Amino acid sequence: MNRRVMDGALFTAGDYLGGALLGGMTAAAVRMAIGPETDMVVAMLAGMGIGMVLHVVVGLLLTPLLGVFHVMVSGGLIGMYGGMMFAMRDSMQTHAMTLHHVIAVGVVFGLVMSAAIHLYDHALRGPAAAPRS
C-alpha cells in the first residue's frame, strides 16, 4: 500500500473517530443538563449551545491532526443539530434510556453526519480529487 493511500485511510478513520467522539460527548452532556421537566424550546436552545461549545473545544483539539474543514464543518453540524435533537428527546421522555444507550445514539449520529460530509465533499470535488494509488 502506498503512503498516500495509507495517509488518506488514517485521516478518514480519524475523521470518523472525531465525529463519533463529539456525538457521544454531546449526547451525554445534553442528557446531564436537560430533564423531562424542561420546556422543549428552552431545551433545544440549551442543547444547541452545549453542542456548539463542545464542538469548539473538541474541534480546536482535533484541527491540528485532521484539518479544519472536516473537523469544523462536521463538528458544527453534529454539535448544533445533535444537541438540539438530543435535548428535544430528553425533554419529551422520562429518562428511561440508560446513559450508555444515549451515548451509543450520539456516536451513531456522529458517524452518520461524518459520512454525510464525506459524501457531500466527494460530490462537490468529484472523482478527480480522489487519492490515486
- pLDDT tens per residue across span 22-57: 999 999 999 999 988 899 999 999 999 999 999 999
* Least confident residue range of 2-16, 35-49, 85-99, 103-117: 2-16
Cβ burial of 132 (10 Å; 0-12, 13-18, 19+) is exposed
Total of domains in the chain = 1
For 6, 57, 71, 99, the CA distances from 44, given in Å and listed in that order, are 40, 20, 23, 19
Residue 121 lies in a domain: yes
**This prediction's pTM:** 0.85
Residue 132 lies in a domain: no
Distance CA 80, CA 44 (A): 10
Domain span including residue 16? 3-126
